């Protein structure tokens, strides 16, 4: 079992799988349904869920609020050289919403 698990709510699970596996070297562990996937990166397990009122991690909150993409979920990856990593991501046409380095 992974040392850390993070669930991330987003609208397009397939697009997220492509981003995390191709650009950040995550490994796809499972993708049994369109609204769910599990990826790993070292000791991190990243669980991707699309908003889904019927079941799973994307279902409504107890008060009835439907979860949506773009919430306040955040996690950090440790890299050897942040400048090199940022430059590699920029070459792959990634953009950054804020500057952290």
In a domain, 97, yes or no: no
In a domain, 29, yes or no: yes
The set of long-range contacts for 18-25, using a CB threshold of 8 Å and a minimum separation of 24, is 20/46, 22/92, 23/89, 23/92, 23/94, 24/77
In a domain, 99, yes or no: no
| Between 4 and 18, the higher pLDDT residue | 18
In a domain, 59, yes or no: yes
Predicted structure pTM score: 0.66
Name the 3-class secondary structure at 42.
Answer: coil
Average pLDDT across the chain, whole number: 81
| Between 52 and 4, the higher pLDDT residue | 4
| Between 50 and 40, the higher pLDDT residue | 40
How much is the pLDDT for 70?
A: 64
In a domain, 77, yes or no: yes
pLDDT digits (tens, 9 = 90+) for 74-100: 566 778 898 998 899 889 888 775 544
Query: Average pLDDT for residues 37-45, to the nearest whole number?
Result: 93
* Domain count along the chain: 1
Looking up residue 53, the CATH number of its domain turns out to be 3.10.180.10
| Between 2 and 1, the higher pLDDT residue | 2
Its domain, for residue 81, covers: 4-91
How much is the pLDDT for 61?
A: 67
- H or E segment and range at residue 44: strand 44-49
């Amino acid at each position: 079992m992974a040392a850390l698990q993070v669930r991330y709510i987003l609208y397009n699970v397939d697009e997220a799988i492509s981003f995390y596996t191709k650009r950040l070297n995550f490994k796809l562990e499972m993708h049994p349904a369109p609204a769910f996937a599990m990826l790993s990166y070292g000791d991190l397990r990243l669980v991707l869920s699309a908003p889904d009122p019927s079941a799973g991690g994307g279902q409504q909150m107890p008060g009835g609020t439907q979860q949506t993409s773009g919430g306040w979920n955040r996690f950090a990856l440790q890299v050897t050289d942040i400048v090199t990593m940022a430059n590699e991501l920029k070459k792959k046409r990634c953009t950054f919403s804020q500057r952290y380095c």
